[in-house]
Structure 1
């Protein structure tokens, strides 16, 4: 690794704008924005993927490798990524810093505590939780209805036993009520951190957070509880983006970490804006498949921040398409052109959907060692039929050198095809119509079925005049539908909406579909079992 001061200098960042966290990590000070704000923006490229499978698609890997390849070809490029959560790092997925020759480093520090941003979000969120119960205990001047408090607690860990709990048990411990935990990445404060413009905007958004309702059914906010300034104090360092590097020294801004299946799935607006001033090209990613992360990137992040993406890169793998064609995980390494062809409609659907936002698309075929030439050629032929350029990406094995074909295709598209970006729906639509638009246009469902709880939430939204909110769909990432095992490119199904919660600080309504949960559980063999620390303090198994 280079010293982070060297990486910053090569990116045009003076040392006076760095707040160092050791030799290889740094916060970027607000003074840097004062210096950069007058510069024109570079072009913004989104890396997204087909629906994820157990084999892994390599979306973060491709983002890192592509940024390295672009820099190697002489294009000044900065990557913008999300911060990993301890939940998946120690649970099912492992780390989220890329792999092979396309990683961000120091990987173990980034995957674990990094610069403390996620811990700060956890603390600010739980401070508000504590102040809610304390307010009720000491007289409840706001007349909060304990049965209508919607603000849960959070922790950055997968723990299913905390999804539904009872608080206040025991003499003198407050009001007994039902409550629960979410994972920190689902916290509205994480969304607020990632969507705010600066510390001042952060405070305004924190103040709008809805914590519950009083006995008359009127909303009660964090501002009314007097929690905003203390929450902002806990977040004042977290609001600053972080600078790290790839294995090849490409600068990477890593900031914020909302999941895309239960939150909006994009790195911070602040970090993206810094990157756009520092690079001629910015490569960023959004979580899970394009039906989730990319849709929210366009309809929430870009809309709120006034960003205009120039192109999208869709990551596919031979294994992912065979899995969507019905092949079991254990058999994905065997050549199966028939199953591959049956899974290609999943890729086609994502390409069509990205086109609905007005973006040119490049397909990145993330290469695995066992992929057969015939299978690769079948994907390329499908792309040719769809008139979409494709490139084989070997960035895991070869780093930037293995991404040159992809970089060349992207640069050609950026030069020849101009984006005509627009969000999927208008703000003026009511919440029901926004949900229906996403279900029909992106998921290709026929109808939306609202549960009684969801209908009550829609009535509250209408009563409070909140239909201008955007929509953040909480949905399984594995299928276009709300049924995880309905693979490929299903259509004509009914999407079930279980409930709708309000994130007024973030500016969206969270639509909970199917059996999605906001606090994941650990698998039978969590990744934590494979981690060890040697006598020199080196961490092994965090991958």
Structure 2
């Protein structure tokens, strides 16, 4: 049975009942129909630092599939079966991958969040609000320049791009303002995907409305003719942008197939943004539940590193356990096996590909947090292959548990849940990768050499010039958000496994003062993806009764 069919045949609990299970009163939520709700702000409950936070991450993704969200949901349902008060905190799907390469992003099989069609499509309108706020700012910038340009903004140095929440390569580079004097000032521009917008990062890192407004005001939109930065605050439009985000800033409450409460809010990609759900969502879950399970996008080299080095200092709570998701199929592909050969048992390829998982285990342990491996089971896996992963992990002093959550839901993750409960009680002393006072280049070097396994970093002439400028402006001590291919530990998508001795190439920096980090664009990573030859949208449909099909 397909994921959407399983979801459509499930019986959802009324959202008021899910809210009650989570510890929320009826007037703590704003209902969006029978099965979705917004959680009102400000949060009423106090933050309890004794409650446990579990971070789910993974090996580098492959076309073979890893199933990080599926394991996250299954683990939450398993803890609920063990009579633990648990809430899952996830990111919102973007229409880019939903319509493009991946399809839906709400888990799979009997380990899903629902209503899956709503969550994967328009949900509660957060993505649209972010797109509107981002593009309102873009329009206000161009209008300011057209109407006399009191701030002396150089049209050639406007860095704020328009966004769209769909993969559209044709909009990566555009020219606007054509058509005569009344059409605006002609200049080069471009579109990012909404989830790469700084507006998304600001929403996900804001601790409350006041913090949201402060961060919005600090966003750098471009530079003057004398190369001075210009901010949203100087444009005097902070209030208007915050107003457009007044509902989007509120976390969304839904449920799993097993009626475990799930808060889904924010959706930055981890390869081109910081890859974590909102601080408000995670804080809300921690305020309400004894165990909060959250995830970070793509592999641990991207999402988990950014969670630990960018989100954790804002959240003021470090994970008590890190779960690394791996699959037999993905490890065999990392070991050099072609996708068409993955259904056949191949211990040698599995052992070769284990180097990728081993590197991620080592990386996460260097933060001094307990690590558990979840082997997301596929029907083609053999017992010998599953056992071999467990043996290899044991040699690295790491426990690996087989999670059959797609087929069995929470029941398939009971052993994993029991191990996670055990590790969350262990004492640990979190050690961040770099110190806040480290320079940008020092932070990048630590990420590249210690997390990726590379040998050195090369900077383009433009990047070197920017580093000098950032130092002059006092931005040289901000955290770094690496924009890198998700498919490899390196910046070359074709280097699978655990490559060593490579060079990472930084071509450009993007200052994000609202987010309070600097984005480093590496290799050929793009902030506006393109659609594949056969997009997932090709197989989607809706019948006359309103039943959706083809949304995975």
TM superposition score normalised by structure 2: 0.97
Match runs of 1:25-424 below 5 Å:
25-30=36-41, 33-34=43-44, 36-37=45-46, 39=48, 41-171=50-180, 172-415=182-425, 417-424=426-433
Deviations 1:175-197 (A, max 9, x none): 11111000000000000000000
Paired residue secondary structure (2:262): strand
Q: How big is the shift at 1:418? A: 2.0
Q: Report the counterpart of residue 447 of structure 2 in structure 1.
A: 438
Q: How big is the shift at 1:12? A: 1.4
Cα distance in 2 between the residues matched to 1:287 and 1:481: 17
Paired residue secondary structure (1:2): coil
Deviates more, 1:404-413 or 1:256-265: 404-413
Cα distance in 2 between the residues matched to 1:114 and 1:512: 30
| Structure 2, unaligned runs of 5 or more | 1-11
RMSD: 0.8
Cα distance in 2 between the residues matched to 1:481 and 1:338: 23
Answer whether contact 1:192 1:506 (CA < 8 A) is retained: yes
Answer whether contact 2:467 2:476 (CA < 8 A) is retained: no
Answer whether contact 1:67 1:400 (CA < 8 A) is retained: yes
| Structure 1, unaligned runs of 5 or more | none
Answer whether contact 2:51 2:289 (CA < 8 A) is retained: yes
Paired residue secondary structure (2:526): coil
Cα distance in 2 between the residues matched to 1:322 and 1:463: 48
Q: Report the counterpart of residue 8 of structure 2 in structure 1.
A: none
Answer whether contact 1:89 1:95 (CA < 8 A) is retained: yes
Paired residue secondary structure (2:160): coil
Deviations 1:459-484 (A, max 9, x none): 11111011121000000000000000
Paired residue secondary structure (2:233): coil
Question: Is 1:3 the equivalent of 2:17?
Answer: no
Q: Report the counterpart of residue 529 of structure 1 in structure 2.
A: 538
Q: How big is the shift at 1:356? A: 1.1
Q: Report the counterpart of residue 9 of structure 2 in structure 1.
A: none
Deviations 1:436-493 (A, max 9, x none): 1100110011110000111111111111011121000000000000000000001111
Cα distance in 2 between the residues matched to 1:456 and 1:170: 35
Question: Is 1:542 the equivalent of 2:547?
Answer: no
Answer whether contact 2:48 2:286 (CA < 8 A) is retained: no
Cα distance in 1 between the residues matched to 2:69 and 2:48: 28
TM superposition score normalised by structure 1: 0.99
Answer whether contact 1:313 1:362 (CA < 8 A) is retained: yes
Deviations 1:345-404 (A, max 9, x none): 100000000011111100000000010111111100001101101100011100111110
Paired residue secondary structure (2:247): coil
Match runs of 1:472-483 below 5 Å:
472-483=481-492
Q: 1:458 aligns with which of 455, 467, 484?
A: 467
Cα distance in 2 between the residues matched to 1:22 and 1:500: 43
Q: Report the counterpart of residue 500 of structure 1 in structure 2.
A: 509
How many pairs were matched up? Answer: 540
Question: Is 1:518 the equivalent of 2:535?
Answer: no
| Structure 1 runs, 4 residues or longer, greater than 6 Å off | none
